[in-house]
Amino acid sequence: GYIFYNFVIGAYSYWGPKAGQDIYHMASADLMFGGITIVCGIFGTLAGGFILDKIDSTISNAFKLLSGATFLGAIFCFGAFCFKSLYGFIPFFSVGELLVFATQAPVNYICLHSVKPSLRPLSMAMSTVSIHILGDVPSSPIVGFIQDKIHNWRTTALLLTSILIGAFVCWFCGIFLHSVDRFNEESEHGVPATERSNLRPLLDDGNDEARTSQ
């Protein structure tokens, strides 16, 4: 789901200004798309975390928030590119971006809570590498190839936005999967994650003990 999501966001960031300039004849398309992305990214991310806290933070609820926000965000973004007027596009696209960015908190919550504490770094690393290698890295050339074939930025933008439905389907299916929250599980050494800060640093060579005994 996160790969589908990042595929769209990556192509938006690269081709969005070009599409906006061609479809709506924006005078400063880079500034317009950049401003919408920054503002909606900040408020959307914060809103996603706040809502997840309010509805009880569980893996199932995180999937519900992911699927709901992505579905509604896809509708607003798709509808935005259907408008012929810039004044219709901007508010719809802004709401869509706000909803789409609300997925940041729940998707990272799932990555951290679905594995035992010792695997959290690997979980986040796998997530980060996957979304870039399979998501935003290939999306820009693929979208460029499609545009070269059809020569219609509105159609290209609508096709790109429809890929968000793939993210919605994946995350919606996650609601019904059996999930176990492993966030507070003990590590292999029997030490709870919350007590790890009390362990001796790995690079401590025991000199402190030697000095104390002397």
Q: What average pLDDT does range 141-149 have in this prediction?
A: 95
Question: Residue 92 in contact with residue 83, Cβ under 8 Å?
Answer: yes
Task: Please state which of the ranges 25-39, 88-102, 133-147, 195-209 shows the lowest mean pLDDT.
Answer: 195-209
Of residues 171 and 202, more confidently modeled: 171
The 8-class DSSP code of residue 115 comes to S
- Position 100 scores a pLDDT of 95
Q: What residue ranges define each of the domains in the chain, with the CATH number in brackets?
A: 1-178 (1.20.1250.20)
pLDDT digits (tens, 9 = 90+) for 110-125: 999 999 998 999 999 9
pLDDT digits (tens, 9 = 90+) for 13-29: 999 999 999 999 888 88
- Position 200 scores a pLDDT of 55
* pLDDT of residue 84 exceeding 50: yes
Three-state DSSP class for residue 27: coil
Structure token digits, residue 83: 């408008």
Share of the chain above pLDDT 90, in %: 72
This model's pTM is above 0.85: no
Residues 6+ apart with CB under 8 A from 189: none
Q: What average pLDDT does range 75-92 have in this prediction?
A: 94
Average pLDDT for the chain: 87
Within the chain, where are the H helices? 2-24, 29-54, 59-82, 86-101, 104-113, 120-131, 137-150, 153-162, 164-174, 207-213
Residue 163 to residue 158: CA distance in whole angstroms: 9
- Position 28 scores a pLDDT of 86
Please state the separation of Cα 181 from the chain's center in Å: 20
**3-class DSSP string for 69-106:** HHHHHHHHHHHHHHCCCHHHHHHHHHHHHHHHHCCHHH
Three-state DSSP class for residue 186: strand
Handedness of CA 78, 142, 104, 18 (dihedral sign): negative
Q: Is 85 exposed, middle or buried (0-12, 13-18, 19+ CB in 10 A)?
A: exposed
Please state the separation of Cα 150 from the chain's center in Å: 29
* pLDDT of residue 182 exceeding 90: no
Handedness of CA 42, 47, 49, 50 (dihedral sign): positive
CB atoms within 10 A of CB 52: 20
- Position 214 scores a pLDDT of 52
- Position 181 scores a pLDDT of 84
Q: What average pLDDT does range 81-94 have in this prediction?
A: 93
- Position 210 scores a pLDDT of 45
